[in-house]
Amino acid sequence: MKGLIIRKPWVDFILDGAFGCGPLKTWELRGKRTQVRGTIGLIEAGSGLVVGTVDLVDVVGPLSRETLERNRDRHQFEVDDITYAKTYAWILAGAARLDPPVEYNHPRGARSWVRLDSESLSPAGQRVLNPHGRSHGRPPGRGRVCLTTQRPTGTECE
Protein backbone atom coordinates (compact mmCIF):
# COMPACT_ATOMS: atom_id res chain seq x y z
CA MET A 1 0.00 0.00 0.00
CA LYS A 2 1.17 3.53 -0.67
CA GLY A 3 0.79 6.38 1.77
CA LEU A 4 0.16 9.96 0.67
CA ILE A 5 1.60 12.74 2.81
CA ILE A 6 -0.90 15.57 3.39
CA ARG A 7 -0.64 18.58 5.71
CA LYS A 8 -3.14 19.62 8.33
CA PRO A 9 -5.89 20.80 8.09
CA TRP A 10 -6.36 19.20 4.66
CA VAL A 11 -5.97 15.61 5.86
CA ASP A 12 -8.66 16.26 8.49
CA PHE A 13 -10.97 17.75 5.86
CA ILE A 14 -10.62 14.51 3.88
CA LEU A 15 -11.21 12.27 6.90
CA ASP A 16 -13.70 14.17 9.03
CA GLY A 17 -15.09 17.02 7.02
CA ALA A 18 -17.06 19.59 8.93
CA PHE A 19 -17.59 18.49 12.53
CA GLY A 20 -16.90 14.83 11.73
CA CYS A 21 -19.86 14.58 9.36
CA GLY A 22 -18.30 13.14 6.26
CA PRO A 23 -15.73 14.38 3.78
CA LEU A 24 -15.44 18.08 3.21
CA LYS A 25 -12.62 17.52 0.72
CA THR A 26 -12.91 14.91 -2.03
CA TRP A 27 -10.37 16.44 -4.43
CA GLU A 28 -6.69 16.49 -3.54
CA LEU A 29 -5.05 19.10 -5.78
CA ARG A 30 -1.60 18.30 -7.12
CA GLY A 31 0.71 19.62 -9.83
CA LYS A 32 0.87 16.34 -11.74
CA ARG A 33 -1.02 13.15 -12.46
CA THR A 34 -0.56 9.87 -10.65
CA GLN A 35 -1.04 6.34 -11.91
CA VAL A 36 -1.87 5.12 -8.38
CA ARG A 37 -5.43 3.86 -7.87
CA GLY A 38 -7.11 1.99 -5.05
CA THR A 39 -6.82 2.23 -1.28
CA ILE A 40 -3.99 4.40 0.02
CA GLY A 41 -2.90 5.45 3.49
CA LEU A 42 -3.22 9.08 4.55
CA ILE A 43 -0.20 10.39 6.40
CA GLU A 44 -0.42 13.56 8.45
CA ALA A 45 2.68 15.52 7.42
CA GLY A 46 5.28 15.81 10.16
CA SER A 47 3.46 13.51 12.57
CA GLY A 48 4.99 10.11 11.82
CA LEU A 49 1.45 8.71 11.72
CA VAL A 50 -0.84 7.08 9.19
CA VAL A 51 -4.15 8.63 10.28
CA GLY A 52 -6.55 7.12 7.76
CA THR A 53 -7.23 5.46 4.45
CA VAL A 54 -9.04 6.54 1.30
CA ASP A 55 -9.66 5.22 -2.19
CA LEU A 56 -7.91 7.17 -4.95
CA VAL A 57 -10.39 6.57 -7.75
CA ASP A 58 -9.41 8.92 -10.57
CA VAL A 59 -7.35 11.89 -11.70
CA VAL A 60 -8.81 14.73 -13.76
CA GLY A 61 -7.08 17.68 -15.35
CA PRO A 62 -5.32 19.79 -16.04
CA LEU A 63 -8.10 21.96 -14.64
CA SER A 64 -8.96 25.47 -15.73
CA ARG A 65 -9.32 28.29 -13.23
CA GLU A 66 -13.08 28.29 -13.90
CA THR A 67 -13.36 24.57 -13.12
CA LEU A 68 -11.39 25.04 -9.91
CA GLU A 69 -13.62 27.94 -8.83
CA ARG A 70 -16.80 26.05 -9.70
CA ASN A 71 -15.66 23.04 -7.64
CA ARG A 72 -14.16 24.80 -4.62
CA ASP A 73 -16.50 22.83 -2.35
CA ARG A 74 -14.64 19.67 -3.42
CA HIS A 75 -11.08 20.90 -2.76
CA GLN A 76 -11.55 23.72 -0.18
CA PHE A 77 -8.64 25.75 -1.55
CA GLU A 78 -8.49 29.43 -2.49
CA VAL A 79 -7.95 29.35 -6.26
CA ASP A 80 -5.65 32.40 -6.12
CA ASP A 81 -3.35 30.46 -3.77
CA ILE A 82 -2.77 27.57 -6.18
CA THR A 83 0.79 27.79 -7.51
CA TYR A 84 0.95 24.77 -9.84
CA ALA A 85 1.64 25.45 -13.52
CA LYS A 86 -1.00 22.78 -14.24
CA THR A 87 -3.46 21.59 -11.59
CA TYR A 88 -4.91 18.09 -11.35
CA ALA A 89 -7.62 16.80 -9.03
CA TRP A 90 -6.94 13.42 -7.47
CA ILE A 91 -10.47 12.13 -6.81
CA LEU A 92 -10.95 10.54 -3.38
CA ALA A 93 -13.78 8.40 -1.98
CA GLY A 94 -14.51 6.27 1.07
CA ALA A 95 -12.23 8.04 3.55
CA ALA A 96 -11.92 6.44 6.98
CA ARG A 97 -9.89 7.48 10.02
CA LEU A 98 -7.66 4.92 11.73
CA ASP A 99 -8.35 4.71 15.45
CA PRO A 100 -5.73 4.71 16.80
CA PRO A 101 -3.38 6.11 14.15
CA VAL A 102 -0.43 3.90 13.17
CA GLU A 103 3.23 4.88 13.34
CA TYR A 104 5.50 4.43 10.33
CA ASN A 105 9.15 5.11 9.59
CA HIS A 106 9.47 8.10 7.28
CA PRO A 107 12.18 7.58 4.65
CA ARG A 108 14.64 10.39 4.19
CA GLY A 109 13.58 12.77 1.42
CA ALA A 110 10.01 11.46 0.96
CA ARG A 111 7.69 14.37 0.16
CA SER A 112 4.54 12.93 -1.42
CA TRP A 113 4.46 9.13 -1.34
CA VAL A 114 5.68 6.51 1.13
CA ARG A 115 5.51 2.74 0.63
CA LEU A 116 3.58 1.19 3.54
CA ASP A 117 3.15 -2.39 4.70
CA SER A 118 -0.67 -2.72 4.69
CA GLU A 119 -0.52 -5.73 7.01
CA SER A 120 0.94 -3.44 9.66
CA LEU A 121 -2.28 -1.48 10.11
CA SER A 122 -3.37 -3.39 13.19
CA PRO A 123 -6.35 -2.62 15.43
CA ALA A 124 -4.06 -2.02 18.40
CA GLY A 125 -1.69 0.14 16.37
CA GLN A 126 1.17 -1.89 17.81
CA ARG A 127 3.20 -2.34 14.66
CA VAL A 128 5.34 0.27 12.96
CA LEU A 129 4.97 0.67 9.21
CA ASN A 130 8.31 0.48 7.46
CA PRO A 131 8.80 2.14 4.05
CA HIS A 132 10.77 -0.89 2.85
CA GLY A 133 7.89 -3.33 3.36
CA ARG A 134 9.23 -4.81 6.60
CA SER A 135 7.26 -4.46 9.79
CA HIS A 136 8.11 -4.48 13.46
CA GLY A 137 6.37 -5.62 16.62
CA ARG A 138 4.91 -8.99 15.64
CA PRO A 139 6.66 -12.28 14.94
CA PRO A 140 6.48 -13.51 11.31
CA GLY A 141 3.97 -16.15 10.33
CA ARG A 142 1.14 -15.05 12.62
CA GLY A 143 -1.36 -14.38 9.80
CA ARG A 144 -2.83 -11.20 8.39
CA VAL A 145 -4.13 -8.36 10.53
CA CYS A 146 -7.41 -6.76 9.49
CA LEU A 147 -7.58 -3.03 8.92
CA THR A 148 -10.00 -1.34 11.30
CA THR A 149 -11.52 2.08 10.78
CA GLN A 150 -14.19 4.26 12.27
CA ARG A 151 -16.76 6.15 10.23
CA PRO A 152 -19.45 8.45 11.54
CA THR A 153 -22.98 7.13 11.45
CA GLY A 154 -25.64 9.02 9.50
CA THR A 155 -27.33 10.20 12.66
CA GLU A 156 -24.24 12.11 13.80
CA CYS A 157 -24.37 14.25 10.66
CA GLU A 158 -28.02 15.16 10.56
Angle at 67 between CA 62 and CA 68, to 5 degrees: 85
pLDDT exceeds cutoff 70 at 65: yes
* Chain segment 73-101, per-residue pLDDT in tens: 888 888 888 889 999 999 999 998 998 99
Q: Taking the model in full, what pTM does it have?
A: 0.73
How far is the C-alpha of 108 from the C-alpha of 64, rounded, in Å?
34
pLDDT at 79: 86
Highest mean pLDDT among 31-35, 120-124, 149-153: 31-35
Q: Residue 117 — very low, low, confident or very high, per pLDDT cuts 50/70/90?
A: confident
Q: Which long-range contacts (CB under 8 A, 24 or more apart) does 98-101 make?
A: 98/50, 98/51, 98/52, 98/53, 98/125, 98/147, 98/148, 98/149, 99/148, 99/149, 99/150, 100/124, 100/125, 101/44, 101/47, 101/49, 101/50, 101/51, 101/125
Kindly indicate whether the domain formed by 2-157 is annotated with CATH number 2.30.130.30: yes
Residue length of the chain: 158
